[in-house]
């Protein structure tokens, strides 16, 4: 090793040593190989928990039922029984604390998602009751005539 | 003749030299890999019944709100495609805004903000196909991540570490299904994760909860009593783009050859 | 705004999340690494295989390769959504990804080139440091220079004949070791694309080989071009200083040396160009003949949408025209300049047609995406991934070369 020819190698080794030391400090301690091996499971273990902690926004009808039993029972008896409350009323979040009241979407566009007539034979859409929003009582909200919790009943116009 | 001194020197050098590559094996210790692999716990899968889907797009809306993907950004974790096959044999496909607002127009969105009108009597067959991340058993997106920022958990869900992703976009390129995109706020790769915060609490995903037609269902493949598992095991199910060898875990009922 | 929306125009059906995510910077990246690898291979032809005719350009191309090296990294950093996290490729490399090899291959290659340069310029470093040391009462600048050159010697002050011979042997070995590493550096850039099974245009095992061949072509072309440019400047200087310094080479000497080097080098350029075109055409013919599922959409991209880019600009202007220009006997300097510029254009268009062309169609095979290069930057995004960003990347190596030339004079005769 006396020859000067090895000098660049010494520099290279020093650089590698610096990188290795830096890795010790910069790589999170929980970084490693997970359940799916090195190919599919090379990750920071703590991240799984971070994803589990994401806030739940839609609490489902089971949550609404506790306070709004009457509404829940009404819709469950109707052809709209499978539609979740939050589809039209918006996500519950921390209701009733925050927000105190939910913003209800009463727009024509909301109803039109299912009830615009599309004659598609291979989809249950084709068999659904539908209208042409361009000609069917333009300008009026659907809820004026149709009661969304039970479409068999009349709407807000009494 | 080799002197004792040089013999000692050389053998030390060889031993040291060998130690360096051997130390790399520490990263890939196969025994440790095997020990950490457990087959217990759930394996989340998804079942889509395309015959039941009506294209209302409530699933897309619910997903965007639940998973904090900016509502007006033109990217989405899940979307619904519309397929209209006309009598002349042409297939028309669209998914305006990912069907966030359903399909408000009868005309097919062909880009540049133009619609192609199709007469009702020309329709041979037409249906909707919801799409989401397939949580593949061999996820190509995970394989190509250069830094280990995306990975698969023991229960089969592919997650992205928002604190570690460098945003190179290789995973987006690697996904044959186009489910990945850059999150407009966090500027890292983003994808459907079966609402990991919900399914790990025993809830359904947001899209399943918002579907009024039972077109979407999430299940656990390791539980033989799970109704979704039963359907996958006993009925004629299909998956998307099997030819890529990704082993997708979103199963479809009523798939058609036109579906891309 | 979603990343990619600013420059993507969609047509027919594309998946909602599909945009052109890899843009001009990813075109620049293989182009720049190609130049690095090509310039290095050129210099190695002299050092390893003893191609004497290339002596004049060998040292020049090595220094130029070193100047290009940091710039190969620049487009990647400009492309990353989180550039500050780029270092993670070294911290937690995931070697099942082609990109993860970047950190290791790139630094290995950098170290080889740096060491080779050190051996080549050690005598110069020592001599400069010693002459500076001899000056009594050095100015601040001279003191800084003295320190710089002293550090650059790494404490090896021995410039005896034996020591210099040892240097030369080391250069030869490093140049030999560098060829596979340079090929790997670029071949893996091809692998990054070739291994993406989700992309019908990219996925082919030929991709790394095609990339290496066209890399050598572009590297040689750039070296010829830059060599001619610097020689022209030297000629002008010679014209001006000839009277004051009669020891400088005369105009005619420079001219004959220049045309000799250019003629020799362009022969190697032609060889690699033939290899590159052969492979590219093989790939194209094979795709058309086997006509798998993706061929319908690929055909409409290759023969219709990108026809001008591929067949007129890349193969016509970039390959055929320079091929003819170099083959006509009696190669003149002016013809060589036109030829090399066209070759560089051709290789750049090849990168463009691979990177942008590969994203010109949806992976649903039912729609297209059109890339609109942002010319005027109206946001950070369009600055980084637009024309301005590409020009920054293209200009930087020349600035670095200028600085490197101050420390390691390319044209000064050393041992």
Residue C384 near chain B (CB below 8 Å)? no
pLDDT (tens digit, 9 = 90+) per residue, B62-79?
999 999 999 999 999 999
- Is the pLDDT at B118 greater than 70? The verdict is yes
Best of B20, B153, B217 to disrupt the A interface (most A CBs within 10 Å) is B153
Peptide bond into A144 cis (omega under 30): no
Q: What is the pLDDT of residue A158?
A: 46
Residue C22 near chain B (CB below 8 Å)? yes
Chain centroid to CA B135: 4
**Of A92, B94, B186, nearest to A84 (Cα)?**
A92
Residue of B nearest to A32 (CA): B27
- Residues in B touching A151 (Cβ below 8 Å): none
CA atoms within 13 A on the CB side of B147: 26
- Residues in C touching B169 (Cβ below 8 Å): 21-22, 79, 81
Residues C183 and C221 in one domain: no
From the number of C-beta atoms within 10 Å of its C-beta (0-12, 13-18, 19+), residue A45 rates as middle
User: CA C329, CA A93: separation in Å to the nearest integer?
Assistant: 80
Higher per-residue confidence, B176 vs B33 = B176
Query: How many structural domains are present in chain A?
Result: 1
- Is the pLDDT at A52 greater than 70? The verdict is yes
Closest approach of chain C CAs to the CA of A16, in angstroms? Answer: 10
Tracing tokens 């003295």 back to the chain, one arrives at C146
C7 within a domain of the structure (yes/no): no
Closest approach of chain B CAs to the CA of A157, in angstroms? Answer: 26
CB atoms within 10 A of CB C287: 18
B41-75+131-260 folds as Alpha-Beta Plaits (3.30.70)
DSSP string, C275-317: HHHHHHHHHHHHHHHH--TTHHHHHIIIIIITHIIIIIIIIII
pLDDT (tens digit, 9 = 90+) per residue, C356-394?
999 999 999 999 999 999 998 888 888 999 999 999 999
Q: What is the pLDDT of residue B38?
A: 53
pLDDT (tens digit, 9 = 90+) per residue, C110-142?
999 999 999 999 999 999 999 998 888 888 889
Put simply, the answer to whether B181 touches C17 (Cβ < 8 Å) is yes
Residues C174 and C248 in one domain: no
- Residues in A touching C167 (Cβ below 8 Å): 5
Q: What is the pLDDT of residue C57?
A: 78
Q: What is the pLDDT of residue C253?
A: 78
Q: What is the pLDDT of residue A1?
A: 45
Residue C94 near chain A (CB below 8 Å)? yes
C218 contacts C38 by C-beta, under 8 angstroms: yes
The mean per-residue pLDDT over the stretch B171-196 comes to 96
Instruction: Give the percent of chain B with pLDDT over 90.
Output: 82
Put simply, the answer to whether C81 touches B73 (Cβ < 8 Å) is no
Residues C185 and C308 in one domain: no
- Is the pLDDT at C307 greater than 90? The verdict is yes
C46 within a domain of the structure (yes/no): yes
User: CA C114, CA C63: separation in Å to the nearest integer?
Assistant: 9
pLDDT (tens digit, 9 = 90+) per residue, B186-233?
999 999 999 999 999 999 999 999 999 999 999 999 999 999 999 999
Q: Which of B111, B143, B164 sits opposite C96 (nearest CB)?
A: B143
Best of B152, B208, B253 to disrupt the A interface (most A CBs within 10 Å) is B152
Closest approach of chain C CAs to the CA of B131, in angstroms? Answer: 10
A9 within a domain of the structure (yes/no): no
Put simply, the answer to whether B50 touches A86 (Cβ < 8 Å) is no
Residue of A nearest to B119 (CA): A119
pLDDT (tens digit, 9 = 90+) per residue, C207-256?
999 998 888 899 889 888 888 887 888 788 778 777 777 766 777 777 88
**Which C residues in the span 288-317 are in contact with B, Cβ-Cβ below 8 Å?**
293
Residue of C nearest to A21 (CA): C91
C29 within a domain of the structure (yes/no): yes
Residues C158 and C210 in one domain: no
Q: What is the pLDDT of residue C369?
A: 95
List of chains touching B (3+ CB pairs within 8 A): A, C
CA distances for A137 relative to A132, B56, B175, angstroms: 9, 21, 45
Q: Which of A31, A39, A48 sits opposite B143 (nearest CB)?
A: A39
Structural domain boundaries of chain B?
41-75+131-260
A94 within a domain of the structure (yes/no): yes
A151 within a domain of the structure (yes/no): no
Best of C1, C4, C6, C13 to disrupt the B interface (most B CBs within 10 Å) is C13
**Of C105, C114, C216, nearest to C171 (Cα)?**
C114
From the number of C-beta atoms within 10 Å of its C-beta (0-12, 13-18, 19+), residue B85 rates as buried
Q: What is the pLDDT of residue C182?
A: 85
Q: What is the pLDDT of residue C71?
A: 87
pLDDT confidence band for C258 (50 / 70 / 90): confident
Q: What is the pLDDT of residue C410?
A: 81
Q: What is the pLDDT of residue B29?
A: 52
Residue of C nearest to B131 (CA): C15
**Which B residues in the span 79-138 are in contact with A, Cβ-Cβ below 8 Å?**
84, 101-104, 106, 120, 123, 125-128, 138
pLDDT (tens digit, 9 = 90+) per residue, C62-109?
888 898 888 888 999 999 999 999 989 989 999 999 888 888 888 888
Q: What is the pLDDT of residue C287?
A: 94
Closest approach of chain B CAs to the CA of C154, in angstroms? Answer: 24
Q: What is the pLDDT of residue A93?
A: 93
pLDDT confidence band for B177 (50 / 70 / 90): very high
Residue C100 near chain B (CB below 8 Å)? yes
User: CA B87, CA B122: separation in Å to the nearest integer?
Assistant: 5
Query: How many structural domains are present in chain C?
Result: 2
pLDDT confidence band for A157 (50 / 70 / 90): low
Per-chain mean pLDDT for chain A = 91
Q: What is the pLDDT of residue C36?
A: 84
Q: Which of B76, B111, B166 sits opposite C10 (nearest CB)?
A: B111
Model pTM score: 0.89
**Tokens found for residue C377:** 């930057």
C312 within a domain of the structure (yes/no): yes
Best of C111, C125, C126, C181 to disrupt the A interface (most A CBs within 10 Å) is C111
Domain containing C35 equals 24-195+379-409
Closest approach of chain C CAs to the CA of B207, in angstroms? Answer: 17
- DSSP β-bridge partners for residue B106: none
Residues C172 and C257 in one domain: no
pLDDT (tens digit, 9 = 90+) per residue, A64-107?
999 999 999 999 999 999 999 999 999 999 999 989 999 999 99
Put simply, the answer to whether C154 touches A8 (Cβ < 8 Å) is yes
Tracing tokens 């027919």 back to the chain, one arrives at C12
Q: What is the pLDDT of residue B33?
A: 47
Domain containing A86 equals 61-144
C24 contacts C383 by C-beta, under 8 angstroms: no
Q: What is the pLDDT of residue B39?
A: 63
- Residues in B touching C3 (Cβ below 8 Å): 181-182, 184, 187
Q: What is the pLDDT of residue C415?
A: 38
Best of A44, A53, A87 to disrupt the B interface (most B CBs within 10 Å) is A87
Residue C170 near chain A (CB below 8 Å)? yes
User: CA C323, CA C350: separation in Å to the nearest integer?
Assistant: 16
Per-chain mean pLDDT for chain C = 89
Residues C104 and C208 in one domain: no
**Tokens found for residue C101:** 């090899």
Residue A36 near chain C (CB below 8 Å)? no
Q: What angle do CA C67, C73, C79 make, to 5 degrees?
A: 140
C326 within a domain of the structure (yes/no): yes
Closest approach of chain A CAs to the CA of B4, in angstroms? Answer: 18
Higher per-residue confidence, B14 vs C182 = C182
pLDDT (tens digit, 9 = 90+) per residue, A107-137?
999 999 999 999 998 899 999 999 999 999 9
Per-chain mean pLDDT for chain B = 90
Residue C372 near chain B (CB below 8 Å)? no
The total number of residues shown for chain C amounts to: 415
């Amino acid at each position: 090793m006396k020859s000067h020819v090895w000098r660049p190698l010494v520099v290279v080794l020093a650089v590698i040593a610096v990188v290795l030391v830096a890795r010790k400090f910069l790589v999170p301690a929980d970084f490693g190989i997970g359940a799916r091996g090195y190919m599919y499971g090379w990750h920071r273990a703590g991240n799984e928990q971070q994803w589990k902690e994401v806030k739940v926004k839609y609490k489902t009808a089971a949550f609404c039922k506790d306070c709004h039993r009457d509404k829940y029972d009404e819709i469950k008896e109707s052809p709209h029984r499978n539609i979740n409350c939050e589809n039209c009323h918006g996500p519950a979040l921390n209701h009733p604390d925050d927000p105190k009241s939910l913003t209800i979407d009463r727009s024509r566009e909301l109803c039109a998602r299912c009830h615009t007539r599309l004659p598609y034979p291979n989809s249950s859409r084709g068999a659904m009751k539908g209208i042409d929003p361009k000609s069917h009582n333009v300008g009026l909200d659907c809820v004026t005539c149709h009661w969304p919790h039970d479409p068999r009943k009349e709407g807000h116009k009494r | 003749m080799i002197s004792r001194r040089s013999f000692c020197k050389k053998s030390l050098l060889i031993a040291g030299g060998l130690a360096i590559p051997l130390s790399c094996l520490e990263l890939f210790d196969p025994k440790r890999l095997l020990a950490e692999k457990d087959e217990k716990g759930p394996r989340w899968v998804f079942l889509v019944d395309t015959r039941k889907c009506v294209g209302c797009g409530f699933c897309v809306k619910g997903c965007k709100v639940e998973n904090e993907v900016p509502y007006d950004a033109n990217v989405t974790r899940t979307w619904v495609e519309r397929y209209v096959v006309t009598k002349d044999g042409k297939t028309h496909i669209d998914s305006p805004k990912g069907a966030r607002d359903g399909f408000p127009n009868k005309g097919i969105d062909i880009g540049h903000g133009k619609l192609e009108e199709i007469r009702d009597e020309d329709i041979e067959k037409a249906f909707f196909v919801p799409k989401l991340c397939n949580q593949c058993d061999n996820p190509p997106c995970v394989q190509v991540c250069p830094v280990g920022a995306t990975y698969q958990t023991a229960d089969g869900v592919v997650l992205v570490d928002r604190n570690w992703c460098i945003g190179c976009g290789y995973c987006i390129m690697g996904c044959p299904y186009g489910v990945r995109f850059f999150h407009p706020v966090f500027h890292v790769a983003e994808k459907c994760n079966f609402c990991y915060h919900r399914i790990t609490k025993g809830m359904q995903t947001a899209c399943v909860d918002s579907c009024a037609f039972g077109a979407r269902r999430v299940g656990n493949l390791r539980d033989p009593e799970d109704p979704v598992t039963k359907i996958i095991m006993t009925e004629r199910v299909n998956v998307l783009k099997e030819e890529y060898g990704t082993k997708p875990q979103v199963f479809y009922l009523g798939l058609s050859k036109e579906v891309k | 705004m979603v990343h990619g929306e600013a420059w993507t125009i969609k047509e027919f059906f594309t998946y909602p999340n599909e945009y052109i995510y890899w843009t001009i910077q990813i075109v620049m990246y293989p182009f720049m690494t190609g130049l690095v690898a090509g310039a290095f291979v050129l210099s190695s032809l002299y050092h390893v295989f003893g191609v004497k005719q290339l002596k004049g350009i060998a040292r020049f191309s090595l220094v130029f390769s070193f100047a290009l090296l940091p710039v190969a990294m620049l487009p990647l950093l400009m492309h990353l959504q989180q550039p500050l996290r780029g270092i993670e490729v070294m911290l937690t490399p995931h070697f099942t990804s082609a990109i993860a090899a970047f950190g290791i291959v790139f630094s290995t290659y950098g170290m080889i080139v740096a060491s080779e340069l050190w051996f080549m310029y050690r005598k110069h470093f020592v001599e400069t440091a010693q002459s500076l040391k001899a000056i009594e009462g050095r100015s601040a600048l001279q003191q800084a220079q003295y320190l710089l050159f002293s550090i650059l010697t790494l404490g090896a002050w021995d410039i005896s004949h034996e020591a210099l011979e040892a240097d030369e042997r080391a250069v030869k070995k490093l140049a030999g070791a560098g060829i596979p590493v340079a090929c790997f550096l670029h071949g893996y850039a091809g692998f990054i694309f070739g291994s993406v099974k989700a992309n019908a245009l990219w996925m082919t095992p030929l991709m790394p080989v095609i990339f290496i061949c066209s890399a050598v072509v572009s590297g040689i072309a750039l070296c010829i071009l830059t060599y001619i440019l610097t020689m022209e400047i030297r000629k002008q200087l010679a014209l001006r200083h000839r009277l004051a310094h009669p020891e400088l080479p005369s105009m005619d000497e420079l001219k004959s040396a220049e045309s000799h080097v250019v003629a020799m080098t362009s022969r190697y350029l032609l060889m690699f160009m033939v290899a590159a075109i052969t492979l590219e055409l093989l790939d194209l013919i094979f795709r058309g003949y086997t006509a798998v599922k993706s061929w319908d959409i690929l055909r409409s991209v290759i023969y219709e949408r990108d026809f001008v880019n591929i067949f007129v600009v890349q193969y016509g202007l970039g390959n055929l025209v320079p091929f003819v220009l170099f083959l006509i006997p009696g190669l003149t300097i002016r013809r060589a300049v036109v030829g090399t510029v066209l070759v560089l254009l051709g290789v750049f268009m090849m990168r463009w047609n691979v990177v942008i062309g590969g994203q010109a169609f949806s992976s649903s095979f039912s729609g297209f995406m059109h890339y609109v290069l942002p010319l005027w930057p109206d946001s950070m995004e369009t600055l980084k991934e637009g024309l301005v960003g590409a020009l920054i990347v293209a200009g930087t190596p020349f600035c670095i070369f200028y600085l490197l030339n101050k420390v390691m004079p390319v044209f000064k005769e050393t041992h």
